[in-house]
Amino acid sequence: MAIEIHVPVLGESVTEATVGKWFKSVGDAVAVDEPICELETDKVALEVNATASGALTQIAVQEGDTVEVGALLATIDETAHGKTAPTATTPKPREAAASPAPKAPADEKTAPVSASGGVRASAAKIAADKAVDLSKITGTGPDGVVTKADVLNFLDHGASPLPVAAAPAPQEENIPTEEIVPMTRLRRTIA
């Protein structure tokens, strides 16, 4: 049996509304009191709920259309079973969880190593900022670790930093054009 969904009475002085958005499409399964569309008026935006369970068989008006109170919005067939939304209980593949992803090799800029040993984080930061090749610095820290003082001494004694490549010329970006979007009834009233 087909059940018709009509525009409800919206208030004393409200005689028309605009269809804002459809939450369901033709062929979808609907349950009792499940929202199927949204109506907007000058005063309020409200959801219209299904009055019966079944499948949505017809949508009489499109989004953005203005409808009068009592006008037909949609039809629901109680005997039909519509297509249902995919469930969230779909099992996840365990392949990714079972084997951890291999670590990517360390980037030279993030973890540089000198010829003599390790590098302190503060020394690596200064060397990166000043474009200094850490392999040319002899570390004086424990086990030959390059320290901040080693990098500063290297810079003070006339070491030339690596040549810095010139920044590429900025390309003209496609600036997005403005798009005019019609205001909703409520926004028009506010404006």
Residues 90-144 have pLDDT tens digits of 444 444 444 444 444 444 444 444 444 688 888 888 888 888 877 878 888 887 8
Q: Return the closest-CA partner of residue 19 out of 65, 52, 72, 69.
A: 65
**Could you tell me the domains of the chain?**
2-77 (2.40.50.100), 121-156 (4.10.320.10)
State the pLDDT confidence band at 173, using cuts at 50, 70 and 90.
low
Greater confidence (93 vs 45) lies with: 45
Is the pLDDT reported for residue 67 higher than 70? yes
